[in-house]
Amino acid sequence: MIITSKCIITDVIEISETLKLFEFEIDKYMPWEPGMFLHLNLDSSKFNPDWSNSRPFSFASYGDKKAKILVRKLGYYTNRMFDEMKIGKEFYIRYPFGDFFLNDNRNKVLIAAGSGISPFMSYMDYIIKENIKSQNYLFHSVKIEKESIDNYYSVPKNVILKKFVTRENTKNIPNRHIEKKDISNLENRNTFDYYICGSELFIDKYRNILEENNIKNIFYDYWS
């Protein structure tokens, strides 16, 4: 069932000049599964919503009518969001959509770059709120260190974070992209399910790496 609901911004966290985490309260709340997404419309009205101008965003939270999305400023629409979505701003969403589900207790390896981590934030909320005891690894590659997930989110204890920074020299963090050896060195790597979120190029790269390691259970979610 797809719901249309009014929302209101309750908090905005500026992570970097081009990355923000928006928190908003959903008027008509319905639970969603971690990994699902919404359509957001800055221009819709209650009586005549025009959803042709909406944009999809993965939920970056789980299990609460105060939801979150992680937004990268890339183009006209997200520039508008950065300018207009202040605390108290009202807008509409339609939700939930998608079939990239992370709603089980199997051990997982999560691979993402930048804002592609959004659905994995939803999954980590799920781990905390549903008391999931699985073992998980999170590989997160960012261009600058301040965008690393642990700077704005409390990673659960049963998620081992592997950080990579590609455009800065930082201490104690590999200054490179995620490489084949990082995955090859995982113990019992064939006992995990693998989830990749990012651009088509990013997914193809790491899916090929996983297949070269004889990994079978691979799931992915493209975004453009």
Same domain, residue pair 137 and 92: no
- When pLDDT is cut at 50, 70 and 90, the band that residue 14 belongs to is very high
Same domain for 188 and 89: no
pLDDT, tens digit, for every residue of 65-80? Answer: 999 999 999 999 999 9
What pLDDT was estimated at residue 148? 97
Portion of the chain with pLDDT greater than 70, in percent: 96
Pair (122, 196) in one structural domain: yes
Give yes or no: residues 29 and 86 share one domain. yes
pLDDT in tens, 133-153: 999 999 999 999 999 999 999
Please indicate, yes or no, whether residues 115 and 196 belong to a single structural domain of this protein. Answer: yes
Q: Does 41 map to a domain?
A: yes
Residues 184 and 217 in one domain: yes
Residue 217 within a domain: yes
Number of structural domains the chain divides into: 2
- Domain shared by 39 and 81, yes or no: yes
- Mean pLDDT across the stretch 184-204? 92
Does 53 share its domain with 114? no
**Per-residue confidence at 85, pLDDT binned at 50, 70, 90?**
very high
Contact 143, 133 (CB under 8 A): no
Q: Is the whole model's pTM more than 0.85, yes or no?
A: yes
pLDDT band of residue 45 (cuts 50, 70, 90) is low
102 is a domain residue: no
pLDDT at 66: 98
**Is 157 inside any structural domain?**
yes
80/156 same-domain check: no
pLDDT of residue 47: 55
Residue 40 has pLDDT above 70, yes or no: yes
Q: What is the pLDDT of residue 48?
A: 58
Same domain, 113 and 217: yes
23 by Cβ neighbours in 10 Å (0-12 / 13-18 / 19+) ranks as middle
Within-domain flag for 196? yes
